[in-house]
Structures are given as C-alpha cells and as structure tokens.
Amino acid sequence: MNGPDLQRSLRLFERMLLIRRMEERLGDLGKAGELPGNVHLYIGQEAVATGVCAHLDDSDWVASTHRGHGHFLAKGGDPRAMAAELMGKETGICHGKGGSMHVADVSKGILGANGIVGGGVGLAVGAALGAQLDGEGRVAVVFFGDGASSQGVISEALNIAALWKLPLLLVCENNGFSQFSPYETVNAGDIWRRAEPFGMPGALVDGNDVHAVWRVVGEAVARARSGEGATLIEARTYRWRTHVESEESFLAAPYRTQEEVESWKQRDPISRLEEFLVSEDLEKDVAAIRARVEGVTESAITDALNDPLPPVSRAFEDMFANG
Amino acid sequence: MAKRRLIHAVNEALHEEMERDDRVILYGEDVRIGLFGDTRGLFDKFGGKRVINTPISEVVMTGMAVGMAAAGYRPICHMMYGNFLYTGFDSIANQAAKLRYMTAGQLKLPLVYLASTGAGRSSGAQHSDAPYPGVMNLGGIKVVIPSTPADAKGLMKASIREDNPVLFLLPTRRGGEQGEVPDGDHVVPLGKGSVKREGRDVTVVAIGVMVRHAMRAAATLSEEGIEVEVVDPMTLFPLDKELILASVRKTGRLVILDEARATCSAASEIAAIVAEQGFASLRGPVGSVAKIVKLEHAWRRLDGRNDDGFQVAPFPG
Ligand SMILES: Cc1ncc(C[n+]2csc(CCOP(=O)(O)OP(=O)(O)O)c2C)c(N)n1
Ligand SMILES: [Mg+2]
C-alpha cells in the first residue's frame, strides 16, 4: 500500500495534534486539582491511534485501554465530552460515571477505555464475531499495551481469531513499560512474532511514524474486511509522560533515565509529520491546523470547566436497561 | 401440558427462542454435542453460525458475550460447569456487570451466561459449586435459578428476551426430573418468585434443587400438623423481597434452604432482608440450612444423607 496522500496527511496531523493538545491541557488540569481521578496520558504515542483509526468508520468497533484518550479522539469521540467526563461533569460522555479510564461512545463504535489491563480483548473478539456474522465488512480493533500482552486472554484471542478468521486487528502499543517495569524485565521475545504460530499475519511497525502505521494497518483492515481474517500488529513507541500522573508523588526511585526520555522526544511523531508537511510546502496548512486545534482544545476545556456536575440521581440510573 | 425433563424443557426453550429471534447465538465448549443435553439438536437445526463450538477459553468467552451484545446480538455463553464461571469471572464482574452503568446507559447488554450449579454427582469440589452468591453481589447481572421443568423453560425464555446480562443456573443434578410444562409460549418473568405450597405455620424459602427437599419436608410436616409455606425466589438478583416478606408476615417464621455455602450467601441475604424489613413479623429466630463444608465426593455415601447431600430434618420447634 502506498502512503497517504497529502490531504490525508494533513488530517492525520490535525488529529494527532488534537490528542496532544487535549492531553497537555488535561495533564495540567490534573496537576491543578481540577480532575477528580487520575489520568494515564498518551503523549508520544499519538501516531498509533491516529494511523489505525484513520481506516475505520463509526460502524467499526474499537476497544481501548486505561490509556484511552487518544483512541477515543482518534475514533471521532467529542473532545468536550471527553474533557467533561474526566472532570466528572454532567456533559461528560458517560455523565461523569466513567472518568478517564472509561470514556466510551458506542454511537461511534468506541466500546470504551478499560480499567482492566487486557479487558478490551474479549469485547473486541465478540464484536468481531458479530461483525463476521453481519457480513457487512465491519472490523473490530483492540488496542493493548506491551504489559497487557502477558495476559492469558491474548493467547485465547489469537487462537480464536485465527481459527475463525475474525475481522479483528490486535494492535499492541509497545511503549516500553508495563507500568514501571521495562519491557525486557517482564516480556519474553517479540510480541508481533506471537501471531505466526497461530497462522496469523504479524507485523512490526514504527509506532512513531504515522505513515508507516497507516500503511500497515490499511493492509490489515483490507484483509479483515474482505474475510481474510485477523492481524496482530506491534507498534513500537514510547510514552513521554508518567505512567499515571500522580506517580511522582509516590514513586521512591526512577525507573528510567531522562536521557532515554529525551532520545524518544527526538522521534516525536508529530514533529516528524510536520517536517514532512513543511517540506511539501504545506506550511500554511500546518499553521492553520495549529490554530484550529488550539481553538477546539480551548473551547472544549473551557466549556467542560463551566459545565455543571451531574445530579446525585445519576448514581441510581443505568444498572439495568428498563429500570 | 406435557411432561418434560428439566433439561429438555431448557432445550425446548433454546429451540423456540433461537427459532423466534435469529440474533440469538449460542456458543461454548462442545455446545454442538452438549454435555448436559440442554443444547441437543440446536446445531442440526440452526447450523454452525448460530451454534458455535469454542476452544477452552473461558477468559475470552465471557468478554465476547459483551462485545457480541454490544454489536447487536443476543449471545448465550455456555460456561458448562458453574465452577468455570470463576475461570472467566473477570469479564463477568468487570465488563458485563458494569459497562452499561459506567457508560451511563450507552449499551444494552442482552446476554446469558449459562452454567450448571450444584453438587450431588460426587464430581468433587471443583465441579459442584453453587456459584451465585458472588454474582448476586456484583449488581448488573440478573441471577436465575429454576427448580421445576416448567419454570426452567419459562425463565430461560425470559432470560433470552431480557435486555440485561443474566446468569442462568442449570440444576443439572436434577436435570432428569420430570414435570408438567405448559404448552405454547410459556414465559416466566424474571424478578418474581413463586409460592410452591401454601401454609400458615412457617415459611421455607428454598433455592433451586432445594425446593424439592422443602416440598418433601412440607409433606412430612403436614402429617404432623405443621403447615409449611414453600417460597421459591427463582430470581436471586433482583430478589422478590415482597413475596418473602408477605409470606413471613403470614407465618411469623422463616427457614432458608440453600445449597450454596452459608457465608455471604443468598440465604444470609434473605435472612438479612427479613431481619431489617420484617423483624416485627418474626416469632422466632430465622433458621437456615446451608452448606458449611466443601466435602462433595464421598458425601453421598455418608450415613443418613440423602442423594443431594442434605439431611432433611423437621423444623425445630
Ligand atoms: C488486570 C489488571 N492488572 C493490573 C492493573 C494495574 N495496571 C494498570 S496499567 C498497568 C500497566 C499496563 O501496561 P501496558 O499494558 O504496557 O500499558 P501502558 O500503561 O504502557 O499503556 C497495570 C499493571 C490493571 N489495571 N488491571
Ligand atoms: Mg506499556
């Protein structure tokens, strides 16, 4: 598959930038005590969610992780509804009942972030089976981390997805850490290679190169839509920020060096794309996008901050459908 | 009316509901053949797209039900033995029970987890649990346990039509038991209990296969002039509290008969409800008959035990 055309590259840039700016603002708000819960920020990994979701429609399914803001926004989730959810507001996408780890918009095919590491896997396998039974070419994607790759459910899912040729993408975002444990201290071998024994295509991709992600995923989605089955993709990337924004207050010792963090910042997926776009004489478009994203982010955050809290009665709703 | 074995009544319900609604999909380990007889003939009739054999993968299976329900299907996830619910418990507790609530009602999750419950086959403690207490505590999952073929059929039909997650427990130990099943579209609503025998002296709330023992004990006691009212809750969550409280108001006494272990159980929950909301009606302390040990294999051989491992004793005083 060729790379995306320039118009599409601009859209990828805009989406990545929106995720980045939203999270920077939300991270700051968290530090300022404006968020009732903790947040896991996605900063540095934007190319993965963006490159994957660019191939998906609202009717395709995505199951996400505890680090789910990027997936939510990349799949078309509303920035203000996400910000409001993190603030526990009535206008939150879940009326403030979910919070950061549970942002979901089922109308957009977002089955939700998930507080259980590996928790989205079964959901996506089920959605993929549903999509296969529908026979309308829908696909399901599950994002999971390198830490989650050690969960037993992954091998169950690989087996079933390969056996039944499910329209499923298993996208592992290897950001180098399972919480505070470096990859090689808790994982044996390469994750993407685990596809092969099941007879499933497996691919390794540079998760900081949105064009590369877009290409690899495009092929996998095309296979899935045409009934050729599932793919396991490992995208190597890095999280710039903390595992969880509160960690500085409780960690006794650092688990990585500042040099390592800086070296990955040199490979910023957003700057990389920006340089490319500028080299294609799209400087003006880039500037326009920057201004637009600033505006969207600002109003999403400001509106959400001004939004009301939910009434207490919300707590007693929604356990069951029909009462 | 026709006589049916309990397991065949469930089988009939599955046939009828899969016929009625092609969004109902049954999957699980060896469901094509079916270990208990409840899935008999379904594969032949509905084919491999609706009756799906899975690998032994309980962890992913329980989550799949949630994903399929979100995608518009009405999955029945057959977990075989009740104990294997624990193997797949993560998605039952963390996804199925909570996703609708946490997303403020964005999802309807019409799904059934189907599993056997109970001891009495000398299968050992890992194949004999009554696993409902933990599930009752989750909220978000309705818990159903029938005692007769007619109820089993009607409750299964209601469970499949329910727009929320349901754990349907099959008392497979009593699967062969016969009973009259009404003809036609026999549906028994969830959340409603039934009075299986009326009596004025003492209320016995009996759960699942224990209803049978309660009925026997009631017949024996009736000869001695004690009239027992036997109440079968049928749905354990949400529980038909009103029915139980009304019965206790009438009799003033309560005994609970439950196959699950006593600690934090349906029995202790029912006792708590009556203590909190029906205390004034009680003329004596609540009694309960429930398991306190896990001995299962040799149980049937022990002296004085009946074939469900219970000694049925008359109500003390
Ligand atoms: C079942 C479960 N076990 C443990 C945790 C605690 N926990 C939250 S995130 C995390 C690390 C996950 O690492 P990874 O999958 O690589 O995702 P990343 O945080 O790097 O995005 C752990 C152990 C959890 N939320 N769920
Ligand atoms: Mg990680």
Q: Is A205 on the interface with B (CB under 8 A)?
A: no
In a domain? residue B189: no
Q: How far apart are CA A9 and CA A6, in angstroms?
A: 5
Banded pLDDT at A93 (limits 50, 70, 90): very high
N-term to C-term CA, chain A: 50
Residues B165 and B198 in one domain: no
CA angle A215, A217, A221 (to 5 degrees): 120
Residues B126 and B34 in one domain: yes
Which of B86, B103, B163 to mutate against chain A (most A CBs within 10 Å)? Answer: B103
N-term to C-term CA, chain B: 40
Residue B299 reports pLDDT greater than 60: no
Residue at which a domain ends, from B157, B181, B205: B181
Instruction: From residue A63, give the alpha-carbon distance in Å to each of A101, A214, B209.
Output: 12, 18, 40
Measured from the CB, is residue A108 less than 6 Å from ligand 1? no
Residue corresponding to tokens 């962890």: B59
pLDDT for the residue B311: 47
Q: Which atom of ligand 1 is nearest to the CA of A174?
A: 16
Residues B166 and B216 in one domain: no
Residues B175 and B199 in one domain: no
Cβ contact, residue pair A116, B100, below 8 Å: no
Is residue B297 annotated as a catalytic residue, yes or no?
no
Under a CB-based contact definition with an 8 Å cutoff, are residues B301 and B280 in contact? no
Residues B292 and B158 in one domain: no
Nearest-by-CA chain A residue for B141: A320
In a domain? residue B258: yes
The CATH fold of domain A6-241+255-306: Rossmann fold (3.40.50)
Nearest-by-CA chain B residue for A98: B102
In a domain? residue B228: yes
pLDDT tens digits, B193-250: 999 999 999 999 999 999 999 999 999 999 999 999 999 999 999 999 999 999 999 9
pLDDT for the residue A249: 84
Q: How far apart are CA B230 and CA B206, in angstroms?
A: 7
pLDDT for the residue A176: 97
Q: Which ligand is the nearest neighbour of the Cα of A142? A: 1
pLDDT for the residue B315: 34
Query: What CATH number is given to the structural domain containing B270?
Result: 3.40.50.920
In a domain? residue B312: no
Measured from the CB, is residue A117 less than 6 Å from ligand 1? yes
Residues B211 and B237 in one domain: yes
Q: Is B257 on the interface with A (CB under 8 A)?
A: no
Of B25, B63, B102, the CB nearest to A121: B63
pLDDT for the residue B92: 98
pTM: 0.93
Q: How far apart are CA A310 and CA A96, in angstroms?
A: 7
Which residues are registered as beta bridge partners of A140? Answer: A61, A168
pLDDT for the residue A34: 92
Distance from Cα B96 to the centre of ligand 1, integer Å: 20
Residue A263 in tokens: 């070296």
Q: Whole domain around residue B25: which residue ranges?
A: 2-181
Banded pLDDT at B314 (limits 50, 70, 90): very low
Residue B293 reports pLDDT greater than 90: no
In a domain? residue B188: no
Measured from the CB, is residue A179 less than 6 Å from ligand 1? yes
Q: Smallest Cα–Cα separation from A48: which of A18, A85, A16?
A: A16
CB count, 10 Å around CB of B71? 25
Residue B306 reports pLDDT greater than 60: no
Banded pLDDT at B300 (limits 50, 70, 90): low
Residue A199 reports pLDDT greater than 60: yes
Residues B175 and B216 in one domain: no
Measured from the CB, is residue A177 less than 6 Å from ligand 1? yes
Residues B162 and B101 in one domain: yes
Under a CB-based contact definition with an 8 Å cutoff, are residues B3 and B180 in contact? yes
Residue at which a domain ends, from B181, B203, B228: B181
Residue B294 reports pLDDT greater than 70: no
pLDDT for the residue B85: 97
In a domain? residue B316: no
Phi-psi region of A199 (alpha: psi -120 to 50; beta: other; left: phi over 0): left
Q: How far apart are CA A120 and CA A130, in angstroms?
A: 15
Which of A123, A160, A322 to mutate against chain B (most B CBs within 10 Å)? Answer: A123
Residues B141 and B12 in one domain: yes
Query: What CATH number is given to the structural domain containing B114?
Result: 3.40.50.970
Residues B109 and B220 in one domain: no
Q: Smallest Cα–Cα separation from B119: which of B265, B307, B246?
A: B307
The number of folded domains in chain B is: 2
Residue A280 in tokens: 């294609």
Say if residue B238 is preceded by a cis peptide, omega within 30 of 0: yes
